[in-house]
Structure 1
Amino acid sequence: MSTFVLVPGACHGAWCFDDLVTALRGHGHRALACTLTGVGERAHLAHGGVNLDTHIADMCGVVAAIPDDELILVGHSYGGMVITAVADRMPGRVDAMVYLDALVPRDGESCWDLVNDEERQWYLGVDDTGYGVPPLPFFDDRASAHPLPSLLQRVTLAGDPGVRRRDFVYALRWPGESPLRRSYERVRANAAWRVRELDGAHNLMRDNPDDLVRILLDAAAH
């Protein structure tokens, strides 16, 4: 049995993984989806000081409370920033990592650094608070504003976290250039990664749920 910890992308809460969590539990695994501080049902905690470090601390706390079994971190979109840092801060604790159309940062990089100009323009369209990035029109109705500082802060990574396996899942049906393309190009020829392309939009949990279940189960297999 593995334990999957799923981290959503910008503006989304744990609910975006509801179907995946149910399917993974149906296969006998533990699965826990989390909502980051200041987002989704935790939007009431949003303030100008919520940043990437806040979200990393959120998930380090979650991981620390999980029994010491085979742990698989799953990050969607912005969630890739978070899971990368969590594995780095807890070396030897994470068995595998799955990036669902997600950012793959290196030391000193921010979300802003990795995405394209169109995505950056979205980040800059903050709401009246001055720090909330509003959800895009095609997001789920439950989506909330996302704290801008978390998209601008550079991640600090120390070295090799000792992860057995890394998977990257790339969504092919973006309406224009994918803001995740740089991350995809970074890993697709790397023998240390398993890279898959799916004919779905960025919300792969909605468009390709069966494919994702198979990929996650495969990541848990030795």
Structure 2
Amino acid sequence: MSTFLLVHGAWHSGRAWERVVPLLASAGHRVFAPTLTGYGETVHLAGPEVGLDTHVDDVVGLILAEDLRDVVLVGHSYAGLVISSVANEVPDRIAELVYLDAMVPEDGETAVDVMPVTQSLIDAALSSESGWRVPPMPEFPPPAGLFGVTDPADVAWVRSMLSDQPVRCLQQPVHLDNPATTAIPRTHIHCTGGPARVEGMERRPVPPTQPNGTPSRVWEIDTGHDCMVTKPAELAELLLKLG
């Protein structure tokens, strides 16, 4: 039995994994899919003080409270930043880091360093009436859709879980200065079925060698960004190779 900890991306909630969790659990694994502070059922906690560090604390707190070990830690999109800093905090608890169509940072980097277009979201939030709210990305015509989701029923479901992102999440740096993190294996899963990425949103190339010195592992799913919604079985199948 493995332990999977699935961390959702910006604007989403733990509900995003509802189609994946039972597939992993039915294979005999333990699965956690928490909602980070300020989203979904915790949206009332959102505010200008909530940031990347808050979300790192959410995940580290869950790992310690449940005494989780040998965790396959999956981060989707923005949560690539989250899982990186989590691994820095508790490297002895993490068996594998999975970057699911995610931001892959270096030590000290923010979301802007990884994906420069993020700066425009920060500027808009700081100049808005609230001064901190980053609204979800809009729905685009197919094949882009809403985070790569185009089926009308699925679009409505995804939209029902979306909430604003606190701008501080995009401003705080990742911490990856613990040498023990370099030993943790990494897997990258790329969603390749969406439209070509716009300037500033390009995915960083995965280097041929992981930080631990082994060859990099990159898998692909032919679908849009929210693959846990559009291709849950295919995603679960890949994750089960790690479990």
Structure 1 length as normaliser, TM-score?
Answer: 0.90
Find the residue that maps to 1:31 and give its secondary structure: strand
Cα distance in 1 between the residues matched to 2:106 and 2:137: 27
Distance (whole Å) between structure 1 residues aligned to residue 202 and residue 209 of structure 2: 15
| Equivalent residue for 2:223, pick from 171, 175, 200 | 200
1:166 aligns with 2:165: no
CA RMSD of aligned residues (A): 1.9
Q: Say if 2:162 is the partner of 1:143.
A: yes
Shift in alpha-carbon separation, 1:188–1:39, aligned structure 2, 3 A? farther
Q: Which moved more, 1:145-154 or 1:167-176?
A: 167-176
**What's 1:128 paired with?**
129
Deviations 1:177-214 (A, max 9, x none): 262511xx034564443101221111111222122111
Pair 1:177–1:188, CA change in 2 (3 A): farther
CA contact (8 A) 2:223 2:230 kept: yes
Q: Does 1:212 align with 2:231?
A: no
More deviation in 61-70 or 88-97? 61-70
Q: How many residues align?
A: 217
Q: Trace 1:83-122 onto structure 2 (pairs within 5 A).
A: 83-117=83-117, 119-122=118-121
Which region of structure 1 is more displaced relative to structure 2, 187-196 or 204-213? 187-196
Separation in 1 of the partners of 2:27 and 2:114? 35
Question: Can you give the 5+ residue segments of structure 2 that lack an aligned partner in the other structure?
Answer: 139-145, 148-157
Task: Name the SS of the counterpart of 2:81 in structure 1.
Answer: helix
Residue pair 2:9, 2:76 contacting (<8 A) in 1 also: yes
TM-score by length of 2: 0.83
The residue type paired with residue 132 of structure 1 is: R
Does the 8 Å contact 1:96/1:163 carry over to 2? no
| SS of residue matched to 2:85 | helix
The answer to whether the 8 Å contact 1:98/1:167 transfers is: yes
